[in-house]
């Protein structure tokens, strides 16, 4: 694996750390590929009982990397669709991982970072953490992560957050269901350890079946999610090459307001 993603084992617990602190653990092609592959390895390792996902440094994940976004702006619709399908495959892998997953939200999460949190079974964050689904400010939508975010917070909250792109804090994230628990920064590790301890009495096969049962009862199956992922990848690809999407991306890269705000 590349250094963009780190794996630490402590007995039957696997901790995966996004390791690009200089860019707030933003996604690029390498991070997406590495994290997807690492989750597949953890999935196949029968000695792993649970997985903690966290970020190195001050942030959990800032979403899309600046250079990655620059590549999006200049890519064709088909190239953008292929790119989006890779991110969709990552979210799908995490959502349907057969092991219990805990998001250790050590700092800010934007865009795809919010998607990763929504895909985890348990999410614990620190007071003061900021979140946003700001894609509309770029003339885009949070397409690939939308099924997972909507499943976590419900359609009513998602509608507001999707159309405003507003920044919200950890207390709000807890109220809407994105986070299960919010603690002071110096208590985060203890809170995560307590959540892990709750998992050990359960049978691993029963936990896997219980997780899939909960998803199925909410109408989420791996097969249906894959169909939706393909549709959403096509949607974001179309928007990225649209006039509004191009203007939004260029405005962001040029550090100016888009024309619709003039």
Helices and strands in the chain: count of H runs, count of E runs: 11, 10
Which of 87, 99, 197, 81 minimizes the C-alpha distance to 146? 87
Q: Is residue 33 within 8 Å of 1, Cβ to Cβ?
A: no
Task: Tell me if residue 135 is catalytic.
Answer: yes
Burial class of residue 42 (count of CB atoms within 10 Å of its CB; 0-12, 13-18, 19+): buried
Catalytic residue among 135, 181, 223, 244: 135
CB atoms within 10 A of CB 72: 22
DSSP state letters, 37-92: HHHHHHHH-TT--EEEEEESTTEEE-SB-HHHHHHHHHS-HHHHHHHHHHHHHHHH
Q: What does DSSP say about strands 130-132 and 167-169: parallel, antiparallel, or unpaired?
A: antiparallel
Task: Please give the positions annotated as active site.
Answer: 135
């Amino acid at each position: 694996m590349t250094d963009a993603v780190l794996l630490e084992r402590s007995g039957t617990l696997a901790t995966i750390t996004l390791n690009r602190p200089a860019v707030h653990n933003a996604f690029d092609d390498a991070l997406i590929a590495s994290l997807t592959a690492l989750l597949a390895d953890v999935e196949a390792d029968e000695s792993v009982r649970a997985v903690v996902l966290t970020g190195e440094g001050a942030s959990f994940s800032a979403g899309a990397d600046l250079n990655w976004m620059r590549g999006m702006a200049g890519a064709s619709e088909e190239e953008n669709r292929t790119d989006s399908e890779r991110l969709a495959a990552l979210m799908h892998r995490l959502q349907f991982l057969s092991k219990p997953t805990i998001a250790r939200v050590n700092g800010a999460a934007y865009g795809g970072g919010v998607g990763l949190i929504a895909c985890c079974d348990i999410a614990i964050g620190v007071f003061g953490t900021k979140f946003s689904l700001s894609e509309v400010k770029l003339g885009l939508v949070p397409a690939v992560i939308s099924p997972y975010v909507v499943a976590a917070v419900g359609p009513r909250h998602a509608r507001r957050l999707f159309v405003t792109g507003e920044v919200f804090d950890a207390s709000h994230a807890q109220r809407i269901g994105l986070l299960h628990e919010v603690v002071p920064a110096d208590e985060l590790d203890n809170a995560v350890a307590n959540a892990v301890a709750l998992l050990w009495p359960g049978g691993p096969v029963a936990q896997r079946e219980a997780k899939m049962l909960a998803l199925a009862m909410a109408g989420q199956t791996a097969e249906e999610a894959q169909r939706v992922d393909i549709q959403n990848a096509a949607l974001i690809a179309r928007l990225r090459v649209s006039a509004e999407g191009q203007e939004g991306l260029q405005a962001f890269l040029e550090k100016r307001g888009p024309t619709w705000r003039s």
